[in-house]
Structure 1
Amino acid sequence: MDAPLWTETHAPSLEDLPQAGVRDALGRAVDEPMNVVVYGPKGSGKTAGVRALADAAHESENDYVELNVDDFFSRRKTEIKNDPRFERFLVGRSRMSKRDMINHVLKESASYAPVSGSYRTILLDNAEAIREDFQQALRRVMERHHRTTQFVIATRQPSKLIPPIRSRCFDVPVRAPTHDEVVGVLEPIVEAEDVEYDDDGIEYVAGYAEGDVRRAILGAQTTVEQEGELTMQTAYEALGQLGLTARVEEMLDAALDGEFSDARKTLDDLLVDEGYDGGEILDDLLRVSRSRRSGRELAELHRLAGEVDLDLAEGTSDRIHLAHLLAELGR
């Protein structure tokens, strides 16, 4: 999508969060700053809730730092060093190992004094990808800066966090939203965008999202951008399985041609912009491959897919494991 994402332009405030328990818990974290673990399934609104907390807690946006763990652990050192969010921390430090780069960025982010108020908030998003050695370093940073920095850890798998971190954090569980809650999120957004829509279109997109708020919002935006309105028919045309299959075929062709950067860009578009989850993409990739491959090649693909499927089921990074599969296909 070239237009601004509706997930950003219509980000909720604390009062707008659909789950009362999450509203209350994050509200307490504003009034009495504490370290927090926000956990729940993908697309349940964890990141949106933390951003709402930061907006309510801080007058300056510079007092909120968002670090996506996947941005570190799935990227090469050069990519991290050249990322505009991190390069100011890493000038002249090219000889650092990747682990030391990550630790340095975290320490520097936590050590800055708040611009306004008495504390800053640092979100570590997609924290199921955090290795244990990094968690030990994180624990030490949390101890050193506990007076001036509030740490929020968002994850699909809180059990992967080491006990010393869990013991320093207040738990905020976020369940998958109900169908009616997703409808309640979509309606004010499409009304604010002043687009033509009907109730059946909203219901279709909410069902298509399967409890993933981000996917629902991006699905509605995709439908409006492609079809000009949001009805059941236009949503079906824009979001039907054929649309995913075409993009997966494009991604597969790029991988098989050795164009890994192009294949990974399509993968990122599907995961981030279009809101698909790794399981859906893997299923469609296998479906497409069965029509193109046979014998030993197809058996090898199924072996690789089985390994990736297990990793996805354990809640680790969809991007890392699907990108690995694409790289193996290119080889």
Structure 2
Amino acid sequence: MKRFLNLTAAAALCASVPAFAQEAITYPAPSEIVAAAKAQEWATIAPSDLLVMDLAPDAAGKSRHVVIQLMPDPFSQGWIGNIRKLATAKWWDGTSINRVQDNYVVQWGDATEKKALPDGLETVPESSYTTPLTDPFAGMLLFAAIVGQKEAADACNRKSEDKISDCYREIERQVMHRDPYGDLYGFYKGWPAGADPDAAWPIHCYGMVGVGRNLSPDTGTGAELYTVIGHAPRHLDRNIAVVGRVIEGIEHLSSLPRGTGALGFYESEAERVPILSVRLGSDAQNVPSFEYLRTESDSFKAYADARANRRDPFFIRPAGGADICNIPVPVRRQTAK
């Protein structure tokens, strides 16, 4: 099994080597690694997997566009199917941004909670917060092979399938980088995810988009959405559906005035930010093409290693690890090829 994340450590200079024999080594910054990635290491995002939200112009009359990438199969597909129907029905047109809670979320939808929903929306069960894996960690690039653990990870990969799980947990214990919100964590099809031997799930990092809901067993339809604008609220993982991420225009949401009501809700209609339209990228006008750095690529592995161990000139001491939300998957407007 070669699908585990390989984070290769840089060789440290031996302290016993005389100073005159040491040569300065320059390490690239994460941004430099991304900029040097080969064209084939980038994956195009289909326009149909984009959600384009146009807000009312700001006080200076400047237009505000927010672009969301919807999550791929198999995660959260019941809610994403609903979101596609809502966008096609133009349901969000005339709704608003209703909540801005500092260091937490921006939320939007129908403030009156009386707008009729389109027909055919699915009621998604709570079991869909996670996705069963047909075999342990299928398709995941696990973060267990932390810097300096390549040999141990390779040894795990040679074990029988029923023992790989325990082997990787031992690596996690040794390097003390076990995710406190799940057994393991890594990247799945370009998205950060948590996992255990039986299931995987998308996680709440900055810019992720989730589905608002009432108390259990309600899971939300997808009509009420939010995006994270603060420290990653990982305690929400497996409790609320994550359906996408903002890939452009997050500043139009994160810079909004904070709501003064409970949980950051706006208390008057005048405070709310009108939503002019929400469309699928395949139905919108003049939508740029976007691409993301493939998480199975060599450049992403080098980038992840550099994020976990900053060795470029500004840094004095590499951290030796990183929260998965501090390794955002690079997304950019597609360049000409």
Under TM normalisation by the shorter chain, which class is it? Answer: under 0.3
Q: Larger strand proportion, structure 1 or 2?
A: 2
Q: Using CA pairs below 8 Å that are at least 6 residues apart, which structure has the higher relative contact order?
A: 2
User: Which of these two proteins has the greater Rg computed from alpha carbons?
Assistant: 2
Q: Larger helix proportion, structure 1 or 2?
A: 1
